[in-house]
């Protein structure tokens, strides 16, 4: 049963934009290796967590005597056993690794159990006795705000003068809107495997989007230098932001046991433990105020965002910032005043999830526009179109709009998807049917590309050309399904002019590429790809110098490598890739290089909240049509059609997959995915049986993504625009389409702008008048 995926790889065109994912053949045969698939060493210990059974309280007593006596239990660790600092907070040091005297959320790790067998650890957990004096529990961000419980300083983006502008508005509408949490639900749970190494070091295989974050956190908790911690990431079974910051705790658990007991250790939570202990997309509740003139121009927009951060800052301050960056979505509004508070509650620290606060911001402006349109008796699309961004406009954060594709996408969408006939068909259907109603919506998206923390927009790559002509590529990019390895392979093949079959993408490893930014913010391919180009070009320059010395004395020759053959002034030379490398090696040419990239032009001054934070923006518009079963309160998504600005896509197969997957994830957030905590901070939607993500039957019957021809952007890798996050926000359209269908059945329904719009909310709105 020999199925060499490398053979398969050679059939994929290295440079073609239609090439598929290089990992696909390994995936379908089960040969891809995730953390739990790595062959383990002798003497493996299993690490389990004893976590807080209450959401807030003071630990009075912990009794592990009985648990420790159980067969198979090696040791039970508490915060007292931590060799370094009891701290895993990334942005703000406010999160203990293991609870000390206070527990701040249900699911907070208190003890680590190291056992010979997983079953023994589970038995031990049942025997641990803890007494906790309860303290008041807050789960509502507005309540937290009232009590002054904030995780970080509040932020405010201001443009113009809203107070003055509201005076000039013909119409002003105010209301509130809220969006719920969302469980990342990567199919592979969190996890890590670690073993002790020489010189008091530890090597960790981690399922993380942020290898350096893991390295830094482990070093801090163990009290060692970063160079004593090696983190290797083979690949992830999904991340979606959930493993950007929160993979660190699990890696630290495995690492601490390995480091202290000098034995290999594995820490992989079961699904319910993962769901209970990790944070999710931040829920938001927001007050908005929108003002328009008599011609439906939006003159002023004001919003106050209350972010539910959970018990520790985690990435919430950065997420909060991106909410403000995208508070006005694709619209040009002259006067803007948006404030955001990161509220501390007794829930697991909420964290990154695809879109990173952007979707939460966009939902509110769309709700405000919908509110205005409904009150004015017009369709929201009139207001949407009329206020769309164009070149020369200024974002509330000071960046000037350039290379704008907003109206281009919008107009093409309406035209190509034939909005007029869609509307007619819906009207006819609704007239004909009593217990089925259809609705539609249009959702524009404008999403900024770059980490909003300018410092993080840097990357490095390491390239080795081996003496047989094969190439090893290491970057800081983590492959988690987004296809970044495929793109990196394309970049290297493109740079060298060689077959992709010669190139291997190595695991992401902190000893090979240091100080990496996490694979996040849709920027992974751009940053690492540009660094990789730099590395490849360095090797190429040395090779070209060598060729010039060997073959010609003329410095002005134009040399290039095409299809593995060296051309000099467009003529094939004696060199092909293999003999070129062999001879260069004999002449002691350096065939390795480290590339570096830092995005130019970007800057942001937090003291004035102005600057040019994004390398570029990605645009698009999606049309969503739904049908609601008005007897049962259920719905189906008939179609989502998106006109998307990919730039010049370097891999249409991968990019289409990102787009389709993102849209469905966004729809899930808006419809069936409901994270429910009770008032005691207990997660009720705590398993796949109670937390539902889209299955194959619930996705849009028709999902069409059109590639809008645009020039791309030179800061995008090979002019192929970032694609990870923007499509998710098309999913917001599902909320408004369903809402519109409900209104077709019950025009007088007062439906709060509250997502997800579950079948429960639909049914209760359909029959609101009964109450």
Partner 1 sequence: MIRFILNDRAVQTDLPSGSTVLDFVRYHKRLTGTKIGCREGDCGACTVLVGDLENGKLVYRSMTSCLMPLGNAAGKHIVSVEGVNMEKLSPVQQAMVDTNGTQCGFCTIGFVMSLTGFVLNENAKQYEQAIAAIDGNICRCTGYKSIERAAAILSDKMTDKPQADTIDWLAANGYIPAYFTTIKAKLEALNASAPIADTGTAGSKLLVGGGTDLVVQKALAVKQSAIQHVYDTNELNRIYLEEGRCHVGGAVTVTAFAESALIQELFPRLPEYIRLVSSTPIRNMATMAGNIVNASPIGDMSIFFLALNSDLILNRNGERRTIKLRDLYKGYKQLDRSPDEIVEQIVFMVPKGADFNFEKVCKRTYLDIASVNSACLVKISNDVIEEIHLAAGGVAPYPRYLAETCAFLKGKMISANRLREAIAIMNSEIAPISDARGTADYKKRLLRQLFLAHFGSRKEIIKQVLSH
26 is a site residue for partner 1 (CB under 8 A): yes
Among 92, 135, 172, 693, binds partner 1 (CB under 8 A): 693
Question: Which of 69, 163, 688, 709 lies at the binding interface for partner 1 (CB under 8 A)?
Answer: 688
Q: Which of 748, 730, 627 is nearest to 374 (CA)?
A: 748
How big is the chain by its Cα radius of gyration, in Å?
27
Round to whole Å and give the CA distance between 502 and 10: 9
Report, in Å, the least distance between residue 705 CB and partner 1: 9
Which of 191, 439 has the CB closer to partner 1? 191
> Whole-angstrom Cα distance, residue 616 to residue 603?
12
Complex with partner 1: residue 369 or 664, whichever CB lies closer: 664
- The minimum distance between CB 475 and partner 1, in angstroms, equals 18
Per-residue contact track with partner 1, 658 to 687, x per CB under 8 A?
A: --xxxxxx------x-x-x-------xx-x
Chain centroid offset of residue 483 CA? 14
Q: Which of residues 241-300 bind partner 1 (CB under 8 A)?
A: 270-271
Residues numbered 567 to 606 that lie near partner 1 (CB under 8 A) are none
CA–CA distance, 194 with 43 (Å, rounded to integer): 12
Task: Kindly report the number of other CB atoms within 10 A of residue 714's CB atom.
Answer: 11
Residue 725 touches partner 1, criterion: CB under 8 A: no
- At 131, list the tokens: 């007494």
Q: How many helices (H) and strands (E) does the chain have?
A: 20, 30
CA distance 366 to 517: 32
Strands (E) in 569-615, as ranges, are: 571-576, 592-598, 603-605, 610-612
Q: Does 767 bind partner 1 (CB under 8 A)?
A: yes
Task: Give min distance, CB of 93 to partner 1, in A.
Answer: 32
**Nearest approach, Cβ of residue 26 and partner 1 (Å):** 7
Closest CB 8 distance from partner 1, rounded Å:
7
Reference 83, options 252, 295, 276, 277; nearest CA is 252
Residue of 9, 23, 265, 349 interacting with partner 1 (CB under 8 A)? 23
Catalytic residue among 379, 673, 725, 760: 725
**Residue whose CB is less far from partner 1, 237 or 469:** 237
Which residues fall within 8 angstroms of residue 276, CB to CB, at 6 or more apart? 51, 106, 107, 348, 683, 686
The binder of partner 1 chosen from 13, 32, 176, 538 (CB under 8 A): 32
Minimum CB separation from partner 1 for residue 663, in Å? 6
Please report whether residue 717 would count as binding partner 1 according to CB under 8 A: no
Q: In the bound complex, what is the minimum distance in angstroms from residue 49's beta carbon to partner 1?
A: 17
Q: Which of 53, 72, 175, 238 binds partner 1 (CB under 8 A)?
A: 238
Contact in structure between 444 and 621 (CB atoms under 8 Å): yes
Please give the residues from 33 up to 52 whose contact with partner 1 meets the rule CB under 8 A: 33-34, 36-37, 39
Residues 607-646 that bind partner 1 (CB under 8 A): 631-634
Owner of token pair 């694979």: 519
Query: Nearer Cβ to partner 1, position 219 or 642?
Result: 642
Q: How far apart are the first and last CA of the chain?
A: 66
Instruction: With CA atoms as reference, report the closest residue to 221 among 199, 191, 253.
Output: 253
Q: Which is nearer to partner 1, 59 or 115 (CB)?
A: 115
Q: Is 431 in the site for partner 1 (CB under 8 A)?
A: no
To the query of whether residue 725 is one of the catalytic residues in this protein, the response is yes
Question: Taking contact as CB under 8 A, which single stretch among the options 317-325, 398-406, 612-620, 696-704 is the one that binds partner 1?
Answer: 696-704
Q: What is the largest distance, in Å, between two alpha-carbon atoms of the chain?
A: 91
Q: What does each C-alpha distance from 257 to 44, 75, 159, 629 come to in angstroms?
A: 11, 9, 52, 54
Which one, 41 or 608, has the nearer CB to partner 1? 41
Size of the site for partner 1 (CB under 8 A): 82
Interface region with partner 1, contact rule CB under 8 A, candidates 76-84, 415-423, 562-570, 657-665: 657-665
Nearest Cα residue to 291 out of 178, 361, 376, 390: 376
Site for partner 1 contains 483 (CB under 8 A): yes
Q: Is 28 in the site for partner 1 (CB under 8 A)?
A: yes
Enumerate residues 172-231 that contact partner 1 by CB under 8 A: 185-189
What CA dihedral angle connects 106, 109, 112 and 115, to 10 degrees? Answer: 50
* Nearest CB to partner 1, comparing residues 397 and 691: 691
Please, which residues have CB within 8 angstroms of residue 61's CB and are 6 or more apart in sequence?
Answer: 129, 130, 131
From 116-124, 143-151, 334-342, 550-558, span contacting partner 1 (CB under 8 A): 116-124
Q: Is 432 in the site for partner 1 (CB under 8 A)?
A: no
**480 is a site residue for partner 1 (CB under 8 A):** yes
Question: From CA 599, how far away is CA 414, in angstroms rounded?
Answer: 35
Among 689, 747, 748, 750, indicate the residue that binds partner 1 (CB under 8 A). 689
463: which 2 tokens?
A: 């390239």
What is the distance between the alpha carbons of residues 128 and 401, in angstroms, rounded to a whole number?
59
How do 265-267 and 192-197 pair as beta strands? antiparallel
What span, in angstroms and rounded, lies between the C-alpha atoms of 526 and 514? Answer: 18
| Distance from C-alpha of 534 to C-alpha of 593, rounded to nearest angstrom | 9
Of 488-496, 515-523, 612-620, 652-660, the segment contacting partner 1 by CB under 8 A is 652-660
Residue 272 CB, shortest distance to partner 1, in Å, is: 8
- Given candidates 143, 656, 752, 754, which one binds partner 1 under the rule CB under 8 A? 656
Beta-bridged to residue 109, according to DSSP, are 51
Active site residues: 725
């Amino acid at each position: 049963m020999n199925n060499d995926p490398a053979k398969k790889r050679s059939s994929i065109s290295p440079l073609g934009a239609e090439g598929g994912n290089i990992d696909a053949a390994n995936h379908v045969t089960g040969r891809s290796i995730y953390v739990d698939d790595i062959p383990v060493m002798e003497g493996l210990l299993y690490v389990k967590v004893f976590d807080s059974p209450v959401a807030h309280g003071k630990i009075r007593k912990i009794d592990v005597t009985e648990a420790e006596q159980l067969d198979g239990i090696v040791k039970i660790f508490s915060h007292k056993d931590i060799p370094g600092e009891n701290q895993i907070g990334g942005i703000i040091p406010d999160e203990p690794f293991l609870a000390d005297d206070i527990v701040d959320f249900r699911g907070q790790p208190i003890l680590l159990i190291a056992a010979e067998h997983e079953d023994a650890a589970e038995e031990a957990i049942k025997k641990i006795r803890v007494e906790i004096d309860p303290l008041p529990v807050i789960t509502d961000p507005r309540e937290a705000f009232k009590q002054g419980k904030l995780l970080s300083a509040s932020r405010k983006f201001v443009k113009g003068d809203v107070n003055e502008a509201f005076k000039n508005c013909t119409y002003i509408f105010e209301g509130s809107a809220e969006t719920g949490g969302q469980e990342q639900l990567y199919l592979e749970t969190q996890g890590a495997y670690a073993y002790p190494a020489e010189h008091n070091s530890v090597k960790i295989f981690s399922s993380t989007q942020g290898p350096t974050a893991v390295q830094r956190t482990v070093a801090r908790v163990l009290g060692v230098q970063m160079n004593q911690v090696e983190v290797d990431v083979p690949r992830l079974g999904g991340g979606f932001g959930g493993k950007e910051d929160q993979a660190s705790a699990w890696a630290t658990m495995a690492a601490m046991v390995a480091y202290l007991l000098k034995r290999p250790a594995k820490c992989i939570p079961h699904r319910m433990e993962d769901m209970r202990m990790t944070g999710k997309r931040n829920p938001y509740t927001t007050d908005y105020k929108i003002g328009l003139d008599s011609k439906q121009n939006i003159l002023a927009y004001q919003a106050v965002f209350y972010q539910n951060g959970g018990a520790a800052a985690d990435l919430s301050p950065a997420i909060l910032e991106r909410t403000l960056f995208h508070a006005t979505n694709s619209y040009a509004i002259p006067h803007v005043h948006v404030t955001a508070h990161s509220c501390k509650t007794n829930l697991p620290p909420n964290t990154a999830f695809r879109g990173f606060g952007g979707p939460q911001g966009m939902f509110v402006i769309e709700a405000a526009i919908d509110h205005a349109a409904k009150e004015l008796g017009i369709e929201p699309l009139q207001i949407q179109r009329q206020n769309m961004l164009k070149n020369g406009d200024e974002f509330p954060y000071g960046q000037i709009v350039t290379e704008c594709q907003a109206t281009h996408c919008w107009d093409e969408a309406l035209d190509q998807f034939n909005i007029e006939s869609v509307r007619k068909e819906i009207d006819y259907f609704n007239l004909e049917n009593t217990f089925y109603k259809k609705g539609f919506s249009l959702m524009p998206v404008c999403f900024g590309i770059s980490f909003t923390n300018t410092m993080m927009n840097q990357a490095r790559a390491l390239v080795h050309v081996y003496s047989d002509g094969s190439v090893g590529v290491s970057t800081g990019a983590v492959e988690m399904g987004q296809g970044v390895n495929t793109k990196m392979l394309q970049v290297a093949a493109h740079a060298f002019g060689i077959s992709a079959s010669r190139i291997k993408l190595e695991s992401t490893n902190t000893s090979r590429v240091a100080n990496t930014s996490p694979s996040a913010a849709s920027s992974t391919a751009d940053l690492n790809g540009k660094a990789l180009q730099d590395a490849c070009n360095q090797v190429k320059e040395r090779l070209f110098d060598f060729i010039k010395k060997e073959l010609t004395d003329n410095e002005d020759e134009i040399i290039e490598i095409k299809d593995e053959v060296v051309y000099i002034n467009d003529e094939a030379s004696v060199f092909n890739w293999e003999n070129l490398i062999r001879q260069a090696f004999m002449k002691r040419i350096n065939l390795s290089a480290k590339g570096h990239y830092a995005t130019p032009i970007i800057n942001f001054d937090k003291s004035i909240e102005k600057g040019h934070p994004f390398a570029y923006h990605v645009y698009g518009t999606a049309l969503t049509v739904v049908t609601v079963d008005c007897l049962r309160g259920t719905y189906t998504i008939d179609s989502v059609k998106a006109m998307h600005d990919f730039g010049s896509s370097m891999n249409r197969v991968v990019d289409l997959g990102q787009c389709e997957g993102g849209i469905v994830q966004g729809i899930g957030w808006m419809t069936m995915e409901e994270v429910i905590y009770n008032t005691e901070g207990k997660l009720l939607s705590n398993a796949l049986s109670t937390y539902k993500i889209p299955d194959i039957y619930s996705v849009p019957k028709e999902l069409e993504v059109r590639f809008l021809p645009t020039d791309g952007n030179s800061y995008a890798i090979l002019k192929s625009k970032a694609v990870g996050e923007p499509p998710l926000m098309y999913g917001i359209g599902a909320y408004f389409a369903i809402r519109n269908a409900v209104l077709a059945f019950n025009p007088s329904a007062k439906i709060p702008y509250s997502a997800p719009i579950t079948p429960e909310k639909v049914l209760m709105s359909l029959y609101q008048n009964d109450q």
